Amino acid sequence: MTDQLRLMAVHAHPDDESSKGAATMAKYVSEGVDVLVATCTGGERGSILNPKLQGDPYIEEHIHEVRAKEMDEAREILGVKQEWLGYVDSGLPEGDPLPPLPEGCFALQDVDEAAGTLVKLIREFKPHVITTYDENGGYPHPDHIMTHKISMVAFEAAGDPEKYPEAGEPWQPLKLYYNQGFNRPRTVALHEALLARGLESPYGEWLERWKEFERAERTLTTYIPCSEFFEIRDKALIAHRTQIDPDGGWFRVPMDIQKEVWPTEEYELAKSLVDTSLPEDDLFAGIRNN
């Protein structure tokens, strides 16, 4: 591979790129890799989760613009490029029974049509590797599940000249990964490390809830060493100030413990058109020397 390596991270909302794989992206940017975040929606229906900003009438009235500005700041911090696919946030339905999704939202789009928007971006950017969410969305938000669906269709279709001919010249990405940063081994390791040091862990209730769901363990295939970029990750995450409380649970594990106990971000290799050996420590394993 003689030209510049390119990585595309497909995410549902602004802030997802900073909470899932951000240190990995910052690491690759530092190595000269061209990194593009594709953000499917504007995050318009995301709740204002930072208690310090709740009830602010300007934010509530201009949430779309506010979240776009937050994304601009996070993009600059991470050193990545970013494009909007232009869909409207579906919101997270709550209640029993669940209410219907809002008309016109991302999760109600035709999958093939929405995938065409992503195919166009893939053919323009020409990524060698794509990261996205698994079939559960990482967690069952309708926009995350839809992001998975269009990513899978687009990965297969982008290199096929008979698919989406209006979307540009075909380009076939070589590998596709699922973000798996919120995995049980990492959570258990950090939880036990905190308790062993006599510190309070934010993960106790989380691990109990995990037992209730009885979800099958995902296969972690790829561990990216990126601890020196954890501070950049956190800075980018805090830039999404309507979504992230800087005094909240995201930041309760001391940085030195994070770096010592779990210095990687994890992925699940879902598709590969190149030979590679598992486990990997590089998303471009099998690509760099081909």
Please give the annotated binding residues, written as ranges: 13, 16, 144
**Distance from C-alpha of 181 to C-alpha of 132, rounded to nearest angstrom:** 12
Q: Checking phi first, is residue 268 left (phi over 0); if not, alpha (psi -120 to 50) or beta?
A: beta
What backbone phi and psi angles, to 5 degrees, belong to 99?
-70, 160
For strand 34-41 and strand 81-87, is the pairing parallel, antiparallel, or unpaired?
parallel
R_g of the chain, CA atoms, integer Å = 19
Query: Angle 63-78/22-30 helices, nearest 10 degrees?
Result: 40
**Distance from C-alpha of 267 to C-alpha of 177, rounded to nearest angstrom:** 6
Q: What three-state secondary structure class fits 190?
A: helix
Task: Find the Cα–Cα–Cα–Cα dihedral 49, 77, 135, 140, rounded to 10°.
Answer: 0
Q: Residues comprising the binding site for Zn(2+)?
A: 13, 16, 144
Residue among 225, 221, 217, 219 nearest 262 (CA): 225
> What tokens does 56 get?
């602010």
